[in-house]
Amino acid sequence: MRSAHEQRLPFEAPIYEMEQRLVDMETQYAKNRAGGEGSKVGDQIRLLRRELAGLKREIYSQLDPWQTVQVSRHPQRPQTRDYIDLIFDQFLELHGDRAIGDDQAIVTGLGYLDDMKVMFIGHQKGKNLAERTACHFGCAHPEGYRKALLKMRFAEKFGLPIVTFIDTPGAYPGITAEERGQAAIIAENLMEMSGIKTPIVCVVIGEGGSGGALGIGIGDHLGMLEHTYYSVISPEGCATILWKGAEHAPKAAAALKFTSRDLLRFGIIDEVVQEPLGGAHRDHAEMSANLKQFLLRNLRKLVGVPKDELLDRRYEKYRKIGVFLDQAADAEASETLRNGHASAV
Assess whether 44 and 111 both reside in one domain: no
Output the pLDDT for position 1: 38
Q: What was the pLDDT predicted at 2?
A: 46
The domain boundary, picked from 62, 79, 97, lies at 62
Determine, yes or no, domain membership for 345.
Answer: no
Q: In this predicted model, what pLDDT tens digit does every residue of 237-276 receive, in sequence order?
A: 999 999 999 999 999 999 999 999 999 999 999 999 999 9
Structural domain including 202 reads: 70-320
**Lowest pLDDT segment from 23-32, 194-203, 219-228, 324-333:** 324-333
Name the band, by pLDDT with cuts 50, 70 and 90, for residue 205: very high
Pair 147, 40 in one domain: no
Most confident segment among 33-42, 95-104, 304-313: 304-313
- Rounded to whole angstroms, the Cα distance separating 300 from 274 reads 20
Using the predicted structure, report yes or no on whether residue 91 has a pLDDT greater than 80: yes
The mean of the pLDDT values for the chain is: 89
CB-based contacts of 248-254 (< 8 A; 24+ apart in sequence): 249/66, 249/69, 250/64, 250/65, 250/66, 253/64, 253/65, 253/66, 253/68, 253/69, 253/229, 254/64, 254/65, 254/66
Identify the domain boundary among 18, 39, 62: 62
**212 shares a domain with 87:** yes
| Burial environment of residue 98 by CB neighbours within 10 A (0 to 12, 13 to 18, 19 or more) | exposed
Within this chain, do residues 18 and 122 fall inside the same structural domain, yes or no?
no
Quick: pLDDT tens for 66-82.
999 999 999 999 999 99
For residue 301, is pLDDT > 70?
A: yes
In a domain, 53, yes or no: yes
Pick the range with the lowest mean pLDDT from 41-45, 148-152, 203-207, 285-289: 41-45
CA dihedral 120, 291, 117, 76 (to 10 degrees): 50
Judgement on whether residues 146 and 54 belong to the same structural domain of the protein: no
Does residue 110 sit in the same domain as residue 141?
Answer: yes
Summarize pLDDT for 188-200 with one digit per residue, the tens.
Answer: 999 999 999 999 9
Give residue 46's pLDDT band: very low, low, confident or very high (50, 70, 90): confident
Is residue 58 domain-shared with residue 185, that is, in the same domain?
Answer: no
Residues 191 and 239 in one domain: yes
pLDDT recorded at residue 345: 45
Higher pLDDT pick, 219 / 4: 219
186 lies in some domain: yes
**Number of structural domains found in the chain:** 2
187 and 49 co-located in one domain: no
Pairwise CA distance, residues 59 & 71, whole Å: 12
At 315 the pLDDT is: 93
Answer with the residue of higher pLDDT: 74 or 40: 74
CA 16/CA 21 separation, integer angstroms: 9
What CATH number has the domain bearing residue 302? 3.90.226.10
125 and 54 in a single domain? The answer is no
**DSSP letter (8 states) at residue 6:** -
The model's confidence at residue 207, banded by pLDDT at 50, 70 and 90, is very high
Residues 268 and 297 in one domain: yes
Residue 344 lies in a domain: no
Check whether residue 137 and residue 275 sit in a common domain. yes
